[in-house]
Structure 1
Amino acid sequence: MIIPILIGIGSGLSLIMAIGAQNAFVLRQGIRREHVLPVVLICGLTDALLETLGVAGIGFVIERAPAVLEIVRWGGVAFLLWYAWTAVRRAMKPQALVVEGESAGSLKRTVLACLAITYLNPHVYLDTMVLMGSIGNAQGDPAKWWFALGGALASVMWFFALGYGARMLTRFFATPKSWQILDGFVALVMLVIAARLAFGGMGV
């Protein structure tokens, strides 16, 4: 029981710790202390759900549905480009960032943005349902379900640590210049991922 759980935790962390659109979004919300709980819950529980579905065998179906992934792929490219542009606009008006930071933004808007970043990224399905599903199924019964539990724990722990741990950076981001740097970084991450999706297909 313990070994499959540890394998699940290790495999899950190795896939989600890399800087990506989702992590950049969670980091920014954590630093701003805006709607952190719903954001980390959406990200963590979504990963947990998709990993469980992958272990259950749904990843096998997704892997053989290129048309569906293509639709998600181009929807993700469009959204990432839009989000990158909004980050650039924020970086160009650093004074507005400080004022905005004094009051939380719309919960609905934040949740919708989080859902879009999460579900319009085709790599989330490949990482969770296909890769984690494949590794989990290789464990056999009943170990694969303990593996799924480990993967779910890794996702939830990571996003909670990222979202709430980002608060330690609040003092650094007390100046407009710091927010310019962060939003410039967020825009760059979104653009790179959008380019990889558009020109590299699903093999990146």
Structure 2
Amino acid sequence: MSLLAGFATTLAMIVAIGAQNAFVLRQGLRREHVLPVVLVCALSDAVLISSGIAGLGVLISASPLALSIAKYGGATFLLAYAAFAARRAFRPTTMAATDHAPAAVRTVVLTCLAFTWLNPHVYLDTVVLLGSLANQHGPDARWLYGLGSVTASFTWFFALGFLSRRLAPVFARPRAWQFLDSTIALLMTTLATVMLVS
């Protein structure tokens, strides 16, 4: 029961399109370094969820300074990425995936790490919230809850990264990439704004 509860709760939380999911989707559509990207996301969640169950969530809740640093750093990063996405959207002649030289895997992984670890909401969701929910299941069952959470994370990111390529025919048109990048720019700017005013 704890395993299923962890799986369902985590899946419900991470399916919403956010900065990290938008990045994974774009990499999946481009078929560019998808495995490293989904592994970074899923393994990061595993570390964060485990840390929350082990008690890190209590420490983070007691340290507003740590969340403030992540808040302003994360907002700055999101606004910068929004600017890059907006620039791509205004150059529709270079929108098709085949028109772009592949980014270096190091650059892609570092960007993915930034989306994951500079987002203060990831600490609230995985470490604080999931950690506290898991600990409500008792000293033994809490790790089953955590296993369910980690399984949900792996399931979601692998599905998003590798199944998004089925949309490739749609994104063979430059206009579709322009729409996606415009949406990403708007989403990143909105998330950064919400992050700064919250």
TM-score calculated relative to the size of structure 1: 0.94
2:167 pairs with 1:169: yes
Q: Which residue of 2 aligns with 1:23?
A: 21
Q: Which residue of 1 aligns with 2:152?
A: 154
2:34 pairs with 1:73: no
Instruction: Give the drift of 1:18.
Output: 0.8
Q: Is the 8 A contact 1:6 1:150 kept in 2?
A: yes
Residue deviations 1:86-122 (CA, integer Å, cap 9, x gap): 0000011122222654542211111111011111000
| Aligned-partner SS, 2:138 | coil
Amino acid at match of 1:106: A
Q: Which residue of 1 aligns with 2:140?
A: 142
Unaligned runs of 5+ in 2: none
Amino acid at match of 1:37: L
Name the CA distance, whole Å, in 2 between partners of 1:195 and 1:38.
29
% identical equivalent positions = 49
| Aligned-partner SS, 1:87 | helix
Q: For the structure 1 residues 101 and 50, does the alpha-carbon distance in structure 2 shift closer, same or farther, using more than 3 Å as the test?
A: farther
Name the CA distance, whole Å, in 1 between partners of 2:96 and 2:28.
15
Matches within 5 A, 1:56-135: 56-98=54-96, 101=99, 103-135=101-133
| Aligned-partner SS, 2:95 | helix
Q: Is the 8 A contact 2:50 2:146 kept in 1?
A: yes
| Aligned-partner SS, 1:142 | helix
Q: Is the 8 A contact 1:30 1:36 kept in 2?
A: yes
| Aligned-partner SS, 1:118 | helix
Residue deviations 1:136-183 (CA, integer Å, cap 9, x gap): 000002100000000000001100000011001000000110000000
The total of aligned residue pairs comes to: 198
Name the CA distance, whole Å, in 1 between partners of 2:181 and 2:97.
15
Amino acid at match of 1:40: V
Q: For the structure 1 residues 16 and 101, does the alpha-carbon distance in structure 2 shift closer, same or farther, using more than 3 Å as the test?
A: farther
Q: Once superposed, what is the RMSD of the aligned Cα atoms?
A: 1.1
